[in-house]
């Protein structure tokens, strides 16, 4: 039997995360994702994925210091960022600049310190490239700001609002890891050859770049913009459904019930009610969308997915759509590197087979 795309094939055992689409469950290292986002930071969650447990106070201080120490990009990376063609997309820039870190010859086996360095560098690469394309001076990192807060600061040059930092941090925690998806599989395949961590991460970025995987919530932004401009969410939603259009941000390929990442984001955003118009608007559109979909498509269980609230967050922090997938990638590097580290613990090279279905020709046919 052929499993096209390896769907349903179990290729590895993992202690990192568990995705249950039927139950609407996402677990990191034994912890429900909704519980993690209530009390834990980006740094604490990254430590959990890399090490299998939450950090002590001392370990957290050490991790934060290491992330801060690796924020400043080496000069050759900055030169590369400035020399790449302006028309080159951000994901390609991120892939290329991280690939240049290979000059350090990371070798085998990968380490947590290597994972920390790449995780720290990714937001700076995105921010520096954005500033370069805008013809603006680079904003150096602020050591007193946490990982997500510093990312927003380096993008815009202003210390961001607490509501924006918390919203984006929650999103980046939720997108750190999601089982054996295409990019994670790509990272593990590369690592299984005993290649270095930089190569495995670069491979994963190349996979994430594909629109069938990384994608972007830009269509949800369009929906929110329409509602904002017309001022009548119900009318916009009903008109779209009457025209046979999809309601972007609702429904998920894996989750057949509420997307736990969407639920966690919603719970966090509710604590900032009234602090940002786009976050408030997203709450209104979600409530009406679920209600109207229930009427128009009964029994379909179409709830909001994580990209719905991601769009609201990106709109609130004034992030251009070109940065959506790179930002997603900056968080997923944590999950990829956790899988690379796990692969190295008990490594077996991936070698699936293929079935030849081409012709078999005799030599005289070629004459």
DSSP code of residue 160: P
CA pair distance 67, 180, nearest whole angstrom: 26
Distance CA 319, CA 244 (A): 30
CA-CA distance, 140 to 121, in Å (whole number)? Answer: 12
151 contacts 304 by C-beta, under 8 angstroms: no
Among residues 132, 178, 252, 339, which one is catalytic?
252
252 is an active site residue: yes
Phi first, then psi: what are they for 95, rounded to 5°?
A: -60, -45
Q: Round to whole Å and give the CA distance between 153 and 84.
A: 24
Spacing of C-alpha 92 from chain mean position? 16
CB 67 within 8 A of CB 43: yes
Q: Which of 43, 169, 307, 342 is catalytic?
A: 307
CA dist 328 and 334 (Å) reads: 11
| C-beta separation of 84 from 93 below 8 A | yes
**How far is the C-alpha of 304 from the C-alpha of 51, rounded, in Å?**
32
Helix (H, G, I), strand (E, B) or coil at 349: coil
Q: Which residues contact 22 (CB under 8 A, 6 or more apart)?
A: 256, 257
Q: Are 295 and 340 in contact (CB under 8 A)?
A: no
Q: Annotated catalytic sites, by residue?
A: 252, 307
């Amino acid at each position: 039997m052929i499993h096209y795309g390896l769907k349903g094939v179990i290729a590895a055992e993992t202690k990192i995360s568990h995705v249950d689409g039927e139950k609407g469950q996402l677990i990191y290292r034994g912890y429900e994702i909704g519980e993690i986002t209530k009390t834990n930071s980006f740094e604490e969650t990254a430590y959990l994925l890399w090490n299998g447990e939450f950090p002590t106070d001392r370990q957290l201080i050490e991790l934060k210091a290491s992330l801060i120490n690796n924020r400043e990009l080496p000069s050759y990376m900055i030169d590369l960022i400035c020399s790449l063609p302006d028309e080159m997309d951000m994901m390609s820039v991120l892939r290329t600049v991280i690939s240049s870190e290979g000059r350090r010859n990371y070798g085998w086996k990968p380490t947590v310190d290597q994972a920390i360095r790449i995780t720290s560098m990714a937001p700076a690469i995105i921010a520096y490239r954005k500033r370069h394309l805008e013809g603006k001076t680079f904003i150096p990192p602020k050591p007193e700001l946490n990982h997500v807060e510093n990312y927003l600061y380096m993008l815009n040059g202003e210390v961001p609002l607490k509501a924006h930092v918390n919203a984006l941090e929650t999103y980046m925690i939720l997108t750190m890891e999601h089982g054996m998806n295409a990019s994670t599989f790509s990272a593990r395949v590369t690592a299984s050859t005993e290649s270095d961590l930089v190569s495995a991460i670069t491979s994963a970025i190349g996979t994430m770049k594909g629109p069938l995987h990384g994608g972007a919530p830009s269509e949800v932004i369009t929906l929110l913009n329409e509602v904002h401009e017309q001022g009548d969410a119900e009318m916009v939603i009903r008109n779209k459904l009457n025209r046979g259009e999809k309601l972007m941000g609702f429904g998920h390929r894996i989750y057949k019930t509420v997307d736990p990442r969407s639920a966690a984001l919603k719970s966090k955003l509710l604590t900032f009610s009234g602090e940002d118009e786009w976050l408030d608007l997203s709450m209104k559109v979600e409530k009406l969308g679920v209600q109207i979909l229930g009427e128009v498509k009964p029994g379909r269980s179409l709830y909001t997915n994580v990209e719905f609230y991601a769009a609201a967050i990106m709109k609130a922090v004034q992030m251009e759509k070109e940065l959506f997938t790179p930002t997603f990638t900056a968080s997923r590097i944590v999950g990829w590197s956790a899988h690379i580290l796990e692969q190295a613990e008990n490594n077996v090279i991936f070698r699936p087979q293929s079935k030849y279905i081409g012709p078999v020709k005799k030599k005289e046919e070629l004459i």
